[in-house]
Structure 1
Amino acid sequence: MQTLYAARVLTADGWRSSVRLQLQGGRIATLQTEVPAEPGDERHAVIVPALGNLHSHAFQRGMAGLAEIAGDTADSFWSWRDVMYRFALRMNPDQLEAIAAQAYVEMLEAGFGRVGEFHYLHHDADGAHYADIGEMAGRIAAAAETTGLGLCLLPVFYAHSSFGGAAPGNAQRRFINSLDSYQRLLERCRQLPASTVGVAPHSLRAVTKDELLAVADMAASAPIHIHIAEQTKEVEDCIAWSGRRPVAWLLENAPVDERWCLVHATHVDAQEIAGIAEAKAVVGLCPVTEANLGDGVFPLPDLLSHGGRFGVGTDSNVHIGVAAELSLLEYSQRLTQRARNVVKRGRQSTGRAIMDFALAGGAQALGGAGRIEQGAAADFVSLDPQHPALCSRDNDALLDAWIFASAGNVVDGVWMAGRKVVTAGRHIARDRIRDRFRTVMKDLCS
């Protein structure tokens, strides 16, 4: 049995002092507060839950920074997507695994403990299925297992290029499945070492109504994630096809409930927001990617006024950071609202409010706990008390300092299922994984 001792721990019941955590079998066997340390205890200053990253495309970490050159016409999500397609067509399974492992190391070092991998790079470069239809998904699972990151694997169903069942484009050939081949892929994914396997109809553009309902039915009680209403053109095209806005159409035609994570949902109206909250679905916000792509800003105060739920994700992985996502989430709201401390619960600190919302939303969307309590998975993070941002800070002020005032990472250690995978701010396999990543990127970018 391993025992940790911390001066401050953010438990499921709030901040507690002088805490001993005994870990056994990957879980918190006992949690004692207001007790002295004992000989042999591993000591830390601050421990908080590891945050869930509810939306990632790991392979896109390899193209970070490659789409920052202006074209002859106005750039948008759609021009960025062309760059992404070209990059995706070059990657083999070994290269995918190396890039995913690098992304997952960075997530752990940033304080994320679990990822929702929205995985759609399924097939060979010519679109043919690998002998093992789950070959690429297996590489994602291997990267998570190697790094120790908790994985909610979300194999994506992708069949069409636009609304109404339009034929897929040639550049999408590695993504495409029929319902039959997707069922085989899903069954294969369920054999992989992933803590949770959900389903992911890519978007309303990429599925018909019958396909959407069939994929949702395959989920049973597992998570269901979908991209929706990310771009204004998507909204316009959906209205032209159905007469309804994307989220409105989804709420009227699919069994949306607590299992669902609506990724982005950037362009929604008041009625749609109320419907999301009523369905108890999670909105998956990816502030850094949404800013990078010029998507827009989700009207978060309206969702919170209805008691809605949200979490955060790193999406394109152009920059991976807990503080980066949470601070930009708040700052984008401040810019649109022209106010301060927008994400809040009463007079609670903004950092604490954002962290609480994101922990709960991430846990719901990924099938994890997101809480430090007896019996829970031993997935948590220690913060570096010597970091300048944390000087003379305590309790919620520590979270405010981490999210809004830290230059560089304040994460000191990370434990996943009781195993310490980050120490002194560095992943235990950082150098080996980074060396492999460098070799792969040299090949892909040559």
Structure 2
Amino acid sequence: MSSLFAHHALLPQGWASNVRLHWNETGDLNLVEQDAALQPHENQAQFVLPGMTNLHSHAFQRAMAGMTEMAGESKDSFWTWRDLMYRYALHITPEQIQAIAAQLYAECLRHGYTAVCEFHYLHRDQDGSFYARPAEMAERVIAAAEQTGMGISMLPVLYSYADFGEQALRHDQRRFSTNVAEIMQLIDALEGKRNAQVEVGVAPHSLRAANISQIRELVAALPAARPIHIHIAEQQKEVDACIAYSGRRPVELLLDSGLVNQRWCLVHATHLNKAEVQGIAASGAVAGICTTTEGNLGDGFFDLPDYIAANGRFGVGSDSHVSQSPVEELRWLEYGQRLRLQGRNIASTPAQRKVGDFLYQAALQGGAQASGRKLGQLSAGYRADIVVLDDEHPNLAGIASADVLNTWVFAGNDNLVRDVYVGGKKIVQTGQHKNQTEVQLSYANCMRQLRQL
């Protein structure tokens, strides 16, 4: 099967009727027919749209979801959660990270993500030494993507310091430790993994964990056009520490380096002033917003209205994976703004007043850009990453295509994804992942081991 007839398809210019999508043997769309006629016995679907890119993921943290929601004796924060995460990360084996990532990716696929940007910093063995194959942990995560059919942009993380001022890493950060030369060795080791489904970029963890000089060296060594991601300005404490260290705010410091352009994804960017909002937008970089994690960790609210007004690009990611649904990320991106501003229908423009449509289309474009891959639209030359919604569900039965995205994003909690194709291969059918049973068994065995620790 290398074609699909869509009664309604979300094309770059909006919804279109009677569209036939064709893809080649490598999984790229090579023809998009409009005003086509349905043929007898043809594979068909009612509502068809591009799959979403999950632009920020720490796969191993899926195994922690729900495990840190108990108050401590003192005030809890991002920083107390981080200490728990470090302790957890110390125990995960290569076999376990593959099982966890496969479970995560199968869940993400069932909810409409078809690609992921994996911000991967769990490089070393439990004692802090490199594995015999230094890229083994990254290879395991890529293997999980291949096992489940998920497209992946693997981003090995540069993590050299514990905080601003080049403070030495803590002992519980030993599995993350890397310098620029080691990161480039990992990238070189992963070169043979690159294909139509796999890209390899890089991620300086943050300005706390990598200094500007290192980042400049890393960018110069990285092959052209590869994606570059960084955590930035997630917490007010981080902003304050950056000012104390450098006299500048984190985004200001990074933008002043002159390095940031369309290759970059600035993850979180939660605490910005007006100049930083304008600066990110003007750079052409993508803001990586992870609303469910930012809510779970108490990070704060991204300045979405001013960023939209500045024509800023953004996408969404599930980060710590307390949710695996792009709908929940987009819904709470909008709801957070409504609560913050005490208004409604915030994520919109005069050209697109439907909030669900604006959010989904913008996140498609931003996520695709952040991935470094040709994703996010049903056009010739792009990957055949396709989501089919369940038109028999009461929410969508008999609905006009113009109302589909608002309904999907803002009505109810049922998963309305029926089928998912990645690179033209049907990975999810009637809501079930093709390898769901084996993936869940491996994950259950992994979690039994981890919960005995």
Same fold? TM cut 0.5: yes
Matches within 5 A, 1:14-413: 14-25=14-25, 26-193=27-194, 195-219=198-222, 220-346=224-350, 347-368=352-373, 369-413=375-419
Distance between the aligned counterparts of 2:2 and 2:117, measured in 1?
Answer: 28
Distance between the aligned counterparts of 1:254 and 1:184, measured in 2?
Answer: 25
Amino acid at match of 1:280: G
Distance between the aligned counterparts of 2:3 and 2:362, measured in 1?
Answer: 29
Structure 1 residue 179: Cα displacement: 2.1
Aligned mate of 1:414, from 416, 420, 425: 420
* Contact residue 152 and residue 198 of structure 1 kept, 8 A: yes
Structure 1 residue 254: Cα displacement: 4.2
Amino acid at match of 1:137: A
Distance between the aligned counterparts of 1:259 and 1:266, measured in 2?
Answer: 20
Q: Give deviations 1:329-364, integer Å, cap 9, x for gaps.
A: 000011111111000122531000001110110011
Structure 1 residue 268: Cα displacement: 0.4
Distance between the aligned counterparts of 2:207 and 2:192, measured in 1?
Answer: 28
Amino acid at match of 1:389: N
Structure 1 residue 39: Cα displacement: 2.4
Distance between the aligned counterparts of 2:50 and 2:36, measured in 1?
Answer: 20
Amino acid at match of 1:222: R
Structure 1 residue 101: Cα displacement: 0.3
* 3-state DSSP of counterpart to 2:167: coil
Structure 1 residue 195: Cα displacement: 2.1
* Contact residue 313 and residue 366 of structure 2 kept, 8 A: yes
Distance between the aligned counterparts of 1:330 and 1:396, measured in 2?
Answer: 19
1:443 equivalent in structure 2:
449
* 3-state DSSP of counterpart to 1:409: coil
* Contact residue 348 and residue 358 of structure 2 kept, 8 A: yes
* Contact residue 277 and residue 306 of structure 1 kept, 8 A: yes
Distance between the aligned counterparts of 2:420 and 2:337, measured in 1?
Answer: 30
Structure 1 residue 406: Cα displacement: 3.0
* Contact residue 311 and residue 357 of structure 1 kept, 8 A: yes
Residue 437 of structure 2 corresponds to residue 431 of structure 1: yes
| Between 382-391 and 212-221, the greater mean CA deviation after superposition | 212-221
* 3-state DSSP of counterpart to 1:142: helix
Structure 1 residue 23: Cα displacement: 2.4
Distance between the aligned counterparts of 1:222 and 1:2, measured in 2?
Answer: 29
* 3-state DSSP of counterpart to 2:155: strand
| Between 330-339 and 37-46, the greater mean CA deviation after superposition | 37-46
CA RMSD of aligned residues (A): 1.1
* Contact residue 349 and residue 396 of structure 1 kept, 8 A: no
Distance between the aligned counterparts of 1:320 and 1:108, measured in 2?
Answer: 9
Distance between the aligned counterparts of 2:31 and 2:262, measured in 1?
Answer: 30
* Contact residue 263 and residue 372 of structure 2 kept, 8 A: no
Distance between the aligned counterparts of 2:382 and 2:265, measured in 1?
Answer: 23
Q: Give deviations 1:186-208, integer Å, cap 9, x for gaps.
A: 11122224621111000000012
Distance between the aligned counterparts of 1:184 and 1:44, measured in 2?
Answer: 45
Distance between the aligned counterparts of 1:437 and 1:89, measured in 2?
Answer: 18
Amino acid at match of 2:64: M
* Contact residue 117 and residue 151 of structure 1 kept, 8 A: yes
Distance between the aligned counterparts of 1:122 and 1:40, measured in 2?
Answer: 50
Distance between the aligned counterparts of 2:71 and 2:406, measured in 1?
Answer: 36
Amino acid at match of 1:363: A
Structure 1 residue 384: Cα displacement: 0.2
Residue 13 of structure 2 corresponds to residue 13 of structure 1: yes
* Contact residue 351 and residue 396 of structure 1 kept, 8 A: no
* 3-state DSSP of counterpart to 2:192: coil
Distance between the aligned counterparts of 1:42 and 1:284, measured in 2?
Answer: 36
* 3-state DSSP of counterpart to 1:191: helix
* Contact residue 212 and residue 254 of structure 2 kept, 8 A: no
Displacement over 4 Å in runs of 4+: none
Distance between the aligned counterparts of 1:243 and 1:12, measured in 2?
Answer: 43
Identity across the alignment (%): 45
* Contact residue 225 and residue 372 of structure 2 kept, 8 A: no
Structure 1 residue 77: Cα displacement: 0.4
Q: Give deviations 1:54-86, integer Å, cap 9, x for gaps.
A: 000000000101110100111000010111111
Distance between the aligned counterparts of 1:130 and 1:385, measured in 2?
Answer: 48
Unaligned runs of 5+ in 1: none
